[in-house]
Amino acid sequence: MPANLLNFSRYFKKNSSVGEQTVSTGDNPAVSSPPPPIPSATPPPNQSGTQNTPSSLGIDMAKRAGMDLLSRLTQRSNQSLILAAGKSKELKLQYIDTEHVLWGLLHDATIYQLVSECGAIPTEIKAALEKNFKQGNFSGTPQFSPRVKRVLELSLSAARMLGYEFISPEHILLALSHEGEGVAARTLVQFKLTQEVLNQKITGKKETEKEEGKTKVSTLEQFTEDLTAKAVRGELDPVVGRAAEIERVIHILSRRTKNNPCLIGDAGVGKTAIVEGLALRIARGDVPETLLHKKILSLDLMSLIAGASHRGEFEERLKNLIKEIKASSGSIILFIDELHNMVGAGSGSEGTMDASNILKPALARGELQTIGTTTITEYRKYIEKDPALERRFQPVLVPEPTIDAAIEMLTALRDKYEAFHRVKITDEAIEAAVKLSQRYIGDRFLPDKAVDLIDEAAAAIRLPSISLPEEIKSGEDRLKRLTNEKTEAEKIGDRIKLETTEREIKELEGTLKNLKEQYQAKKSTTTNVVGPDIIAEIVSRWTNIPIKRLTETESTKLIKLEETIHKRLINQDEAVSAVSEAVRRGRAGLKSNKRPIGSFIFMGPTGVGKTELAKALAEILFGTEDVIIRLDMTEYMEKHEVAKLIGAPPGYVGYEEGGQLTEAVRRHPYSVVLFDEIEKAHPDVFNILIQLLDDGRLTDNKGHTISFKNTIVICTSNLGSGIIQEEMLKEQELKDKSQGLEIKSDTKESQRFATYAISPTGREIITLGEKYWEKDQKSTTWKQDFLSEYFAGAKTDGDFPIFGFDTHLIAADGSEMITSGNRFWFRTSTTAKEWQQGELIEKSRDYIVINASPDAPKEQLPTDKYDTHSLSPANVEMITKGDRFWKRENLQTKDWITGALSEYFLGSTLKFQTATKDASQKLKDDSKKKESSLIQQRTDDNDKAKMISFPTEKWDVHFFKPGGEELIIAGGFYFLRKYPTDKEWITGTVRELFATATVEPGKELLPLGETDKKREEDAEDNDSFTRIAERLMEELRKFFRPELLNRFDEIVVFRPLTAKHMREIVDLQLNNLRKLLVEQNIGIAVTDSAKDFLAKAGYDPIFGARPLRRALQRMVENQISSLLIEAKVTTGDTINIDYNGEELTFTVEKFEKKKVEVPKEEAKPEETVQEINTEPQVQSSTPEQPTPLQAVPPLQSPQPTESKPVNPLEPYFAQGATMPTEENPPVSPTNGQPSSSVVTVS
């Protein structure tokens, strides 16, 4: 392959820019002077004796990163890599790896001879390499693998150590052996071509000659490091994106006076990198003539101070340093990193001068030229305080790079990190590192934090692949044990043990050798890739902010967040929904970058769950409610206490401790911040909140910027508590006058209608059980009657389904069909008197379901019952049952198709329909009640939002209206689309569908699934809540300034708790008590009547749930504690709590064990006595409660042999023991009475 046809830039990943990396290209070498002569061990690269960069490598270095290596290849090296690339392309591989490079090197005559002189046969090496070659299917241009990039870096270092500026094949061969991991390195070791052998053969005695030629070390060599020399050796990282700053430094260095630049910028923005970039330019000669022959020496101040124990020794070292710099005639530029350390350095005892004062005279006279770097804070603190020192330096501000510039910088560094970690770093990973670090790591600066992310991510993904597998580790441990056993056997002379051990050791060594070879082969051919996912994971580890990709478990938890919160919080759907939506927005990455995830004000009566919601949210998100950042505003009522939030100012007590709010958020950036009872805080706290809510950040007393962008800010308020009490008292008086207080454990609701049909003339018919409701198209009033009247005057061969329909179908031609169970009734029109009837199996006899599986009877047409039956105006017939549907395209065909209900909605979208105005929504028309209407609207939307998907389990009603509209009703919601081909469905509640419906006086209401009483109560509650919300909002606007209220995402008014809610809270409180008793292995069971009594006793509409907590403590906990202290309840017992109409009763079910002898013919010799529980396991009266004796494992007994009904408690009794019944209760062994002791407590 001709050399001029190959451009090696294709084999490197494209980078956007490398900024200052420009090298001479073309046929000339990259340095102006020819390289030193090649020793005999390394033949000259060409006949002319000069090392020219091949023309094939003429590439624009300003557009490629890592290409400086390729510009330093000799023609022989170039030809070897051409062969390696060709072989990789021939094998259709994505990467050019070390084995391909070694294969190419073996085609070089000098390498061939060198390998032969080392005692190896090159053809055998080549054959071994070809045996390891793998065939791929990559069609593009292969790229150099990270291992090859590392080899090229090592080869350049090897060349420069030997005094050469260009890379010969010998240097690449030496680097291949030094790399140690690739297939090439293992192959060289296999043929005894170790690193030592090749190093001795290629380098000869050059190292010894260097050692002999060493002279006395000067002060400059001892305390400084030559950055220009490192740049020539290629040891510095490329610098991009800082061309303007480097040009500014060059301008200052070229001045006659005050030519000492001082780079000032935040830590990590790249101040030192700018100096290294200048060194790279000097090494390449890309600087003005005044700087062309200068060197940049980096001062190691710590080494200068270290060991200077005697007085004046430090000054002497520094004076000698300055003296040697003066002797260089201005060819040295001294680089002082962290310049502020010079102030005060060395002035440890009286009479000594610090380093800055020693440098001042030399700087003033221009005898010393320096470059300094420091941060803005340190410059202000140390340099500006000394005007004489400050005026000697010319400041150069180094800003933090933009995101695009930082991406360019990381792209330029990619090859270095790929070569070091031997991984592949994708463009997406670089972009993610920059953007995620900028977004979530606020206390550090680009590009440093992004580079650290890439570095750690590469290490994290590399380490598992180079760690020894567990089977090798366990094998080596076993080998050590066997070796110790062998030594022990030799000592005691146990020949049998010795032979056995030696055989096991030999077998194990062989196994370990094979395993290690497999591991090395896998490691040498595996290229790990650093992608954006691992970057996100590293950021999550650093910040504790969950930004990595959602797992399936976490997604489920977020989707069901409202349901999870409601396990702890009763009612308050609006608040729970608002907070849950904010959490989902933040976790999905849709939140604003400049504001908290969500900010809320919770208002409402006391004791309704405002603070509890914040605690529940913290527990669900973080596993414990202790991580919530809770600030009680009663502690910040005075003006001077406001400083505690962000930290005391300098000079005050607590300055070093930081702020209570800012420090907590700095340590836990992803958290819930709760300002409890915000109205009690001093008004200055509100000024801090304005900045927090608007910008998502606060500045503490030390000047640190704390980000609140990943917090949820919640403020609770009891403003207007007097108004709430007034409204609640009025409402309570009205209820007491009308009906008194009633609390029931189960409110019976009416059933929802069974069928719903519309005729071509617009007549609507609803049925439920033996009744039906109907109305004409022009009427809004429904008439109600019995189904027996519906069939009055009709004729049929059998009975009519007067006790209820399963389906009711009225077709577009007026024909009517009814099904009930496995039978159907049909008439040709809604006015016909003659009905035909038959069985569904007869109707389906000739039909075929063409896509049904033969072994899936569930997919065949149902013949026992239909859930819905419909016919569109286009005569498309549909049947549903359970979660499946059956459809045929017209009435003439006998072919049906079937599918799951979920398939029926594929590609469809769902849209909530604005409800028709009814009595409960008329408040929305009042312009004076705008804010309360928004709260009411949110309540309605939350009710709708509970239905989050299409009905895929069962349909209650399905039919087509005469105009073609399709309607489905399921689970209290309707789904409507305009045409059967539309993909957009409109949904809403059944109540909204019949919002304007009225019924004839004296007739039953439409069966919409709720009672009239419940509807009236809901309407009354909504009216009361609307009035309270209105007045609370007025109070809120009076108390808080508009600019503060306007910055909150949402103001949520909590609803007062009703009697029904108290019943649910009783269950929550009893569950907490049950957990405490279970820890003592004591069970508790409470009847519904007892719960109702507790709910009634603890209900106070003004004070919320707290009176209930006190009632439970007084009536239940006090009595149980007495029973425990009096030892009437012991481990394993169960406490049954009931209500007898006047007071609570506490019954203790004693847990006792009895020894019963097992029959001899069934007992085992070692099991003659067996302990069993002679007491039945007491079941709780409510199904959701756990078994009271759950901590006591039940003992099993032999299963009965006869097929007779088995008592569920029978396994708990031994054979021959009498089971307790009503006639034979359990008897205590002490007194012959039933083992339950009854204690009645008021």
Q: Give the pLDDT confidence of 383-429 residue by residue, as tens digits.
A: 888 787 788 888 888 888 888 888 988 888 888 888 888 888 888 88
Give the HSE-up count for residue 422: Cα atoms under 13 Å, Cβ half-sphere: 20
- How many whole angstroms from its chain centre is CA 169? 49
Q: Which residue has the higher pLDDT, 1153 or 522?
A: 522
N-term to C-term CA, the chain: 103
Q: Indicate the domain borders of the chain.
A: 70-207, 219-345+352-399, 419-539, 572-726+1025-1053, 755-914+940-1007, 1059-1149
pLDDT score for 807: 93
**Cis peptide bond upstream of 1176, omega within 30:** no
Question: Same fold for the domain at 219-345+352-399 and the one at 572-726+1025-1053?
Answer: yes
555 or 925: which carries more pLDDT confidence?
555
Q: Examine the pLDDT at 49 and tell me if it is beyond 60.
A: no
Residue 101 pLDDT greater than 60, yes or no: yes
How confident is residue 819, by pLDDT bands cut at 50, 70 and 90? very high
| Residue 581 predicted with pLDDT over 90 | no
pLDDT the model gives residue 933? 40
Top mean pLDDT of 490-504, 545-559, 846-860, 907-921 is at 846-860
Q: How far apart are CA 254 and CA 260, in angstroms?
A: 10
The pLDDT of residue 523 is: 63
For residue 789, give the H/E element and its range: helix 787-790
In this prediction, residue 868 has a pLDDT band, given cuts at 50, 70 and 90, of very high
Top-ranked range on mean pLDDT: pick from 3-7, 459-463, 1013-1017: 459-463
* Residues ≥6 apart with Cβ < 8 Å to 1192: 1081, 1132, 1151, 1173
pLDDT tens digits, one per residue of 947-978: 457 888 899 999 898 888 899 998 888 899 98
Residue 824: its pLDDT value, please? Answer: 92
- The pLDDT, as a whole number, for residue 742 is 44
What integer pLDDT is reported at residue 817 of this predicted model? 93
Domain 755-914+940-1007 fold is Hemopexin (2.110.10)
**Helical (H) or strand (E) element with 144:** strand 143-144
pLDDT of residue 525: 57
CB crowding 750-776: b at 16 or more within 10 Å, else e: bebbbbbbbbeeeebbbbbeebbbbbe
State the DSSP H helix or E strand holding residue 728, giving kind and residue range, or none if neither: helix 721-738
Q: Say what the pTM is.
A: 0.48
Q: Which CATH number fits domain 1059-1149: 1.10.8.60, 1.10.1200.10, 2.40.50.140, 1.10.3720.10?
A: 1.10.8.60
Supply the pLDDT for residue 48: 35
Q: What is the mean pLDDT of residues 220-242?
A: 82
Q: Any idea which of 15-24, 275-284, 347-356 has the lowest mean pLDDT?
A: 15-24
| Coil, strand or helix at 877 | strand
Residue 353's pLDDT band (boundaries 50, 70, 90)?
low
Q: Would you tell me which CATH number, out of the four given (3.40.50.2000, 2.60.120.10, 3.30.70.1450, 3.40.50.300), belongs to the domain 572-726+1025-1053?
A: 3.40.50.300
Which CB contacts under 8 angstroms, 24+ apart, belong to 111-114?
A: 111/80, 111/169, 111/170, 111/173, 114/170, 114/173, 114/201, 114/202
Q: What is the pLDDT of residues 800-818, one digit of tens each?
A: 888 889 999 998 888 999 9
Residue 917 tokens, joined:
């105005």
The answer to whether the CB of 290 falls within 8 A of the CB of 254 is yes
CA atoms within 13 A on the CB side of 945: 17
Collect all residues with Cβ–Cβ distance below 8 Å to 374 and sequence separation of at least 6.
Answer: 262, 263, 264, 338, 339, 340, 382, 383
Position 1242 pLDDT exceeds 50:
no
Kindly report the average pLDDT of the chain as a whole number. 74
Q: Which residues pair with 825 in a beta bridge?
A: 818, 837
pLDDT at 884: 92
Query: How does pLDDT run across 15-26, given as a tens digit for each residue?
Result: 433 333 333 333
If you classify domain 419-539 with CATH, what class do you get?
Answer: mainly alpha
pLDDT band at 879 (very low <50, low <70, confident <90, very high): very high
Class of domain 70-207: mainly alpha
Pick the CATH number of 219-345+352-399 from 1.10.3720.10, 3.40.50.300, 3.30.565.10, 1.10.730.10: 3.40.50.300
Q: Above pLDDT 70, what percent of the chain?
A: 74
Q: Taking a C-beta distance cutoff of 8 angstroms, is the pair 914, 995 a contact?
A: no
More confident residue, 1207 or 266: 266
Query: Quick one: tokens of 299?
Result: 């001062």
**Of 1203 and 955, more confident:** 955
pLDDT of 41 reads 32
The share of the chain scoring above pLDDT 90, in percent, equals: 4
pLDDT, residue 731, reads 62
DSSP, collapsed to helix, strand or coil, labels residue 781 as strand
Closest by CA to 204, choosing from 19, 42, 418, 396, is 42
Mean pLDDT lowest among 133-137, 624-628, 984-988, 1180-1184 = 1180-1184
Mean pLDDT of 443-467: 81
Query: Which residues fall within 8 angstroms of residue 1121, CB to CB, at 6 or more apart?
Result: none
Q: Which amino acid is at 72?
A: R
- Give backbone dihedrals phi and psi of 920, rounded to 5 degrees, phi first: -75, -10
Give the per-residue pLDDT at 1207: 39
* Confidence tier at 1184 by pLDDT (50, 70, 90): very low
Mean pLDDT of 227-248: 85
* pLDDT interval class at 524 (50, 70, 90): low
Q: How confident is the model at residue 925 (pLDDT cuts 50, 70, 90)?
A: very low
> Is it the case that residue 885 has pLDDT exceeding 90?
yes
DSSP state of 1117: I
The whole-angstrom separation of Cα 458 and Cα 251 is 39
Looking at residue 952, its pLDDT comes to 87
pLDDT of residue 623: 66
CA angle 457, 461, 464 (to 5 degrees): 140
| pLDDT at 138 > cutoff 80 | yes
